[in-house]
Structure 1
Amino acid sequence: MNKYIKIILLLFLVLLLFLVRAYSAELFYDPLIEYFKNDYLYTKIPHINTWHLMIDMLFRYVINSLISLGIIWVLFERVDYLKFSGFFLMLAFMILIIAFMLLLRDQLQNGYLLVFYIRRFIIHPLFLLLLLPAFYYQKLSNR
């Protein structure tokens, strides 16, 4: 792939990640955003439509994952990296959403930090920050 096309595609995909983040309040149901912005240590957890939250988190995770897979493809152009990333992202979502829902079901009785960070991993493309250096290292060690 041409170097300039690669740069333009990367900038476009990163811009898409920023747009998902910028318009998340309008696009996705997440009452925990306001809860964690305010005085969450002293207030009760708001009423949450669990299924609506779970579906919207899945939708947001899928959007971020597809953009992340696009970034990985543009940077490395390797199908095996895409397959591994896809499997890893799918498995991570299943584990994280189950843990998130179990903790949320308990109304944050065991604390809020674990729920806060699990939610962060679900709604933000943090796994991309783990996968890119790993693939770069893999690429360098295979030379």
Structure 2
Amino acid sequence: MPNKLLRYIGISIALLLIVSIRFFEHKLFYDPFLQFFKSEYQNKSLPEFDTFKLFLNLFLRFIANTILSITILYLFFLNKMHIKIAAVLYVILFVILISVLFYLLLFSSSPNYLFLFYIRRFLIQPIMLLLLIPAFYFQKLTSQ
């Protein structure tokens, strides 16, 4: 029982850290699009941004959320194969999404703001965790 209790405490701490990243996002990360997408952005032009600084901060936030998400997945399932699969999926997801995001920001004359919003959202929020938990749980149920 203490082992299970420690796992639940670890999951709770990781979830609390994910919430903290979201709560303190303005203080922790450079992202001029945070305020932009909270306003009526449809008729505005994109805000000015420092490309390198934006990429670095998106990367750092993605890594922080990924590490916490993988920790939660491991503590939830205790399966190293799940962690390997999740890590590969996170890397592939990051490469694809960051490429599309910067293509839209740097080379598109009029990017679709809604598409831009959702790509960015996928990078800065732990949405993959919400998809992987039921997927791994279903896989666990069907393999027994």
Judge same fold: TM > 0.5, yes or no: yes
Percent identity among equivalent residues? 35
Residue 75 of structure 1: aligned partner: 76
Residue 100 of structure 1: aligned partner: 101
Contact 2:32 2:47 in 1 (8 A): yes
Contact 1:68 1:125 in 2 (8 A): yes
Deviation at 1:111, TM superposition (A): 1.7
Q: Secondary structure, in 3 states, of the residue corresponding to 1:48? A: coil
Deviates more, 1:131-140 or 1:1-10: 1-10
User: Is 1:129 aligned with 2:130?
Assistant: yes
Q: List gaps (5 residues or longer) in structure 2.
A: none
Residue 2 of structure 1: aligned partner: 3
Higher helix share: 2
Deviation at 1:110, TM superposition (A): 3.3
Q: List gaps (5 residues or longer) in structure 1.
A: none
Q: Secondary structure, in 3 states, of the residue corresponding to 1:54? A: helix
Residue 36 of structure 1: aligned partner: 37
Contact 1:45 1:107 in 2 (8 A): no
Considering only aligned residues, what root-mean-square deviation do their CA atoms show, in Å?
1.2
Deviations 1:77-124 (A, max 9, x none): 111000000010011000000000001114661320110000000000
Contact 1:100 1:119 in 2 (8 A): yes
Please give the alpha-carbon distance, in whole angstroms, between the structure 1 residues aligned to 2:71 and 2:90: 13
Residue 84 of structure 1: aligned partner: 85
Q: Secondary structure, in 3 states, of the residue corresponding to 2:46? A: coil
Contact 2:66 2:126 in 1 (8 A): yes
> What is the letter of the counterpart of residue 141 of structure 1?
T
Q: Secondary structure, in 3 states, of the residue corresponding to 1:46? A: coil
**Which portions of structure 1, spanning 4 or more consecutive aligned residues, are displaced by more than 2 angstroms?**
none
Contact 1:10 1:71 in 2 (8 A): yes
TM-score, with structure 2 as normaliser: 0.95
TM-score, with structure 1 as normaliser: 0.96
